Amino acid sequence: MRNSLPVVNLTEATFECIFGRGCDGICCQNGRPPVYPDEVERIDAHLEKFLPHLRPAARRLLEKKGYLSNRRKFDLPMLRVVDSWCVFFHEGCVLHKVGAAEGDAYRYKPSACALFPLAKNGNDEWYVRQRGYENDKWDLFCLDPKASSIPAAESLQPEIALAERFTREQEAEAARAAS
Ligand code: SF4
């Protein structure tokens, strides 16, 4: 079933993730996603099961100083980087791998990572990140609209479904707060 979430450039956008097929996951290189309080709570509650999968240096730093840095984005703490890669990166995202093994790849990932390459523009509308669109300069292969002919409307079904779920949850939360 197609998702109904409005995504402004969905009809023209293309997207293909080639992780493991020529891409080593460079979207996680120096990846410092902001993390919401409920995401921090979820990661904290399950931290023990991520630790054995981390790079040794990342595990050492995490055990000494935690996985959040002092940097902030949108007033949220950001994940640490160890040796130029996100603290949770080890031949792929450890949070993704553990979640996928349990049946939901998005269970533990910060929403900023889980929704990639979806983002919101200044009008609070969802769009697919593409190099050059909305002045996006990130030099990733997958953001080059000419790199693949696969329509984002097909390849991004799970991310769009997730964005749709987040939007519904936010609307429900706002309605509860207003009542
Ligand atoms: S949390 Fe996972 S997907 Fe996000 S930057 Fe870190 S390793 Fe990459």
Output the pTM of the full model.
0.89
The pLDDT score that the predictor gives to residue 170 is 85
Are residue 136 and residue 174 in the same domain, yes or no?
A: yes
Cα Dmax for the chain: 51
Please choose from 62, 93, 94, 106 the residue to mutate so as to test ligand 1's pocket, defined by most ligand atoms within 8 A of CB.
93
Q: How far apart are the CA of 177 and the centre of ligand 1, in A?
A: 31
Question: 72 and 134: one domain?
Answer: no
How many structural domains compose the chain?
Answer: 2
146 shares a domain with 104 = no
Predicted confidence at residue 173, as pLDDT, reads 86
Q: Is 28 in the pocket of ligand 1 (CB under 6 A)?
A: yes
| Residue 29 resides in a domain | no
**Residue 28 placed within a domain:** no
> 76 pLDDT exceeds 80?
yes
Ligand 1 centroid from CA 109, angstroms = 7
Structure confidence by residue, pLDDT tens digits, 97-109: 999 999 999 999 9
Q: Answer yes or no: do 74 and 88 share one domain.
A: yes
Confidence class of residue 1 from pLDDT cuts 50, 70 and 90?
low
Residues 4-32 as b/e (b if ≥16 CB within 10 A, e otherwise) read ebebbbbeebbbbbeeeeeeebebbeebb
Whether 63 is in a domain gets the answer yes
Of 90, 23, 102, 27, nearest to 57 (Cα)? 90
User: 18-67 pLDDT, tens per residue?
Assistant: 999 999 999 999 889 999 999 999 999 999 999 999 999 999 999 999 99
Q: List the residue whose alpha carbon is closest to atom 2 of ligand 1.
A: 93
Q: Which domain holds residue 170?
A: 1-23+110-179
